[in-house]
Amino acid sequence: MIEVRPVATVDTEAMRAWYDVVLAAEAGRPLPAWPSFETAMRVWSVERDDLQDRFLVAELDGVPVGAGRLTLHLRDNTHLAVLKVFVDPPRRRGGVGTALLAALEELAAAHGRGTLLTEVTHPPGQPGAGAAFAAARGYAVAGREVLKAADLTTTADRWPGLAERAAARSEDYRLVWWTDTTPEEHLDSLAHLFSRFLDEIPLGDVDVRPQAWDADRVREGEERRRRSGIRPLTVAAVAPDGSLAGYTTLVVHAGDTHAGIESTLVLPEHRGHSLGLAMKVLLHQQLVDLVPEATLVVTGNAGVNRWMNAVNADLGYRDLEECLEVQKLLDPTPGGTP
Ligand SMILES: CC(C)(COP(=O)(O)OP(=O)(O)OC[C@H]1O[C@@H](n2cnc3c(N)ncnc32)[C@H](O)[C@@H]1OP(=O)(O)O)[C@@H](O)C(=O)NCCC(=O)NCCS
């Protein structure tokens, strides 16, 4: 019999069983998608008031065979629930995924969330179990991304030429970079860029809405990362008037040998100066200096994002997986708690 129950993050043993199911379900992926258990637990143990994770385990005759996670945004995007479902490969096609998804959807509805969003990945051109499962459970494709990676040990020789090419078109701008703490002089400007980000990227039909950032929210995020053991690196382009024209940022989780790009943006009024390329080259160069053990950088971009894809191709990124953003709309439950 399949039984689905919640797992508390303070229950380390149950969380480890949950995580083992996730790792088994994700073992076939070409990307290093999950950090070590200890690192993940450190991240989840930091209290947040902007985001909440709920964990569910599915047991078959008492043995954990499925893992589910529900992520709720608490400050903005309160219409949304982000779901994940993982099933141990030998236990698939037995209804475990369906049971977990139903429990997650129920939880989302109880919190008044009307938009359910998840993502499924597969090798380029080869949709697999995730896509079939999503379609069978009524989730429609709302966006398409390609996940890609650059191996810094084989692509670093490209950087000097690319930096020179970009510099020729961005003479009026200067690049700055920092790790944990945004310099005070750029704080408001960075918050403005973060607030613009979701407006500026091609989201397709994905129902994610812009976030409102201010200096305090940026500082809160920095403090949370410090406590989570996450090492961030940001490069920004400063316009002649001193404001930030764009930024790119990555993070390295404790113990990982890869970095993940979080976001990159150049404001529309500053485009056409190769700032995206200039910032990304410096980001990769600084990563090598600061975290030499991180030799791989992973990123994801919408297939239709031609400008960002061209920059990444110049930097030697290779396509590894396709990622479908799949979405289902529920009728919100009146009286649900946000
Ligand atoms: C996707 C996943 C969760 C499905 O788990 P599962 O326990 O096999 O799912 P179910 O048995 O409940 O399948 C329900 C329906 O989905 C469809 N489906 C699931 N896997 C399928 C596959 N490999 N091929 C075709 N259809 C499939 C079928 O319609 C199936 O019903 P059926 O078996 O009666 O034909 C599992 O394959 C997995 O963990 N994949 C990796 C992570 C992932 O992609 N998660 C999904 C989004 S978060």
Closest CA to 48 of 69, 70, 73: 73
Q: Which atom of ligand 1 is found nearest the CA of 130?
A: 44
Q: Are 230 and 251 a contacting pair, CB within 8 Å?
A: yes
Length of the chain: 338
The distance of Cα 109 from the centroid of its chain, to the nearest Å, equals 24
Residue list, ligand 1 pocket, CB within 6 Å: 25, 84-87, 92-98, 118, 120, 129-130, 132-133, 136
- For residue 229, the CA-to-ligand 1 centroid distance in Å is 34
Among all chains, which residue has been given the structure tokens 């397709």? 204
Residue 3: helix, strand or coil by DSSP?
Answer: strand
| 2-113 and 149-323 share one fold | yes
Mutate to test the pocket of ligand 1, among 2, 19, 93 (most ligand atoms within 8 A of CB): 93
pTM: 0.93
- pLDDT attached to residue 306: 82
SS (H, E, C) 104-157: HHHHHHHCCCCEEEEEEEECCCCCCHHHHHHHHCCCEEEEEEEEEEEEHHHHHH
Domain spans in the chain, listed from the N-terminal domain onward: 2-113, 149-323
Q: Which pLDDT does position 202 carry in this prediction?
A: 83
**Positions in the chain short of pLDDT 50:** 334-338
**Which tens digit of pLDDT belongs to each residue from 267-312?**
999 999 999 999 999 999 999 999 999 999 999 988 778 888 999 9
Per-residue tokens: 96: 């475990």
In angstroms, rounded to a whole number, what is the distance separating the alpha carbons of residues 115 and 117? 6
Topology of domain 149-323 in CATH is Aminopeptidase (3.40.630)
User: Distance (Å, rounded) from C-alpha 157 to C-alpha 163?
Assistant: 11
Asked whether the beta carbons of 263 and 250 are under 8 A apart, the reply is no
**Ligand 1: centre distance to CA 129 (Å):** 5
User: What is the bridge-based pairing of β-strands 244-253 and 318-329?
Assistant: unpaired
Atom of ligand 1 nearest to the CA of 121: 44
pLDDT reported for residue 51: 95
Phi, psi of 61 (to 5 degrees): 50, 40
List the beta bridge partners of residue 140: 327
* DSSP string for 190-236: HHHHHHHHHHHS--TT---------HHHHHHHHHHHHHHTEEEEEEE
CATH number for 2-113 (one of 3.30.830.10, 3.40.50.300, 3.40.630.30, 3.40.50.720): it is 3.40.630.30
SS3 334: coil
Query: Which residue owns the Cα nearest ligand 1 atom 10?
Result: 95
